[in-house]
Amino acid sequence: MTRNKNALVVVNGDDIHHDLLTASLVYQQLGIEAGLVTRRGMGMNRFVDARPETADADTYLLYTSGGLFPTAQQEALAAAVRGGKGLVGIHGANILGWQGDGLDPADRPMFELLGNRYLSHGPGHHEGRHTIEIVGDHPITEGIDDFELFDEYYEFELADDDVQVLARRHRADGAEIPVMYARQVGDGAPPETRGTRSIAAFVVDAGTPGLEIAERLDVMAPHPLARLVFHGCLVPAAQCLAESGHGFKLAMRTLDVFRTSVAAAALGFARRALAEGLQRARTRPMFGQMLAELQLTQAKLAEMALTVDAAALLTYRAAWRRDQGHTVTREAAMAKLAATEGAQRVIDAALQLWGGAGVQSGQVVERLYRDIRALRIYEGASEVQQLIIARELLKA
């Protein structure tokens, strides 16, 4: 016999303008109408060492109007959701603490769990009639058409691209403001929708039993690439770098470092290619004079030098800002894109200056021509860097 799904309405707050009892009764009725065995509970100090009425719930309906939500309780709720519990943040769940101009670190677990936070009631008078447009394909909005609403509105900040906008409001100035969101995380999300949301990160030592190199990949230039397999590897908990749900974010932050280092490698290739091109231009006779004396050659050399120096400055900027403790997602993407694409052009130009000799095996420019190609792909292809740069610009 299959048991009925359970829900728990959790209310919390100290705002005298909110009738928590009535709110809890309303949402309990909604849970019952949805076919859930629904109970009510008061206060957030229930997720650490959860009692049966909390532990047995399959879904939490969270209604808050102020009050405290301790960090440990936030983390316990987040762990429960990653483990398969459902969560609906109905009112005020995303009104999180501030510290200076940013999010209070104590409230980060809830911000990352919900995927958004309250910013303000918006500019000017925030009450009025609003047209609400249903967008996106999601079970929550199935069967609901666009509608008009006379009420107040909030403005929010989304945590990342994993947050799916379900409904948005059309403002008088033409802006489209999201008003309803959904995020699927952890074991509670269908396997096909989990994506990066359940990824953790570990350090696996090279000598760990079960770690094997299944295949070494031979590519057009000597880059150490391989396919790894893990057969029952036992990894100590102390070697966990990021828990489930945070591993992908750590990987993306790590790419900011690697992309800068790839840019530096490409810069080195380009500088060597420029040196080879200069040497060839100065010593190769052409039409009764040296190749370097031709204006076409001089224009090509000038473009090569310009490309090298521009890439160098972008690479140095990304590295310096990273050393200062800044997030360098945009700067690293710019550096990698400019340095790798620029190096390809500089190396091609140097090979052209070498003529037929440049394509002979063993020549420096021939080797550089093969070596640079992979750098435009790994750590994110050039097209990916363009998307990252545009996304970061649009965030600003």
Planar angle of CA 106, 68, 30, nearest 5 degrees: 115
The H or E element containing residue 385 is: helix 382-395
Q: Residue 237 contacts by C-beta under 8 Å, 6 or more apart in sequence?
A: none
In angstroms, the CA 291 to CA 283 distance is 7
In angstroms, the CA 145 to CA 115 distance is 24
In angstroms, the CA 98 to CA 111 distance is 12
| Residue 370 near residue 344 (C-beta atoms within 8 A) | no
Amino acid at 75: E
Cα–Cα distance list, 329 to 258, 295, 355 (Å): 11, 40, 39
Buried b / exposed e across 117-145, counting CB within 10 Å, b at 16+?
beeeeeeeeeeeebebebbeebeeeeeee
Kindly list the catalytic residues: 379
Burial class (CB in 10 A: 0-12, 13-18, 19+), 302: exposed
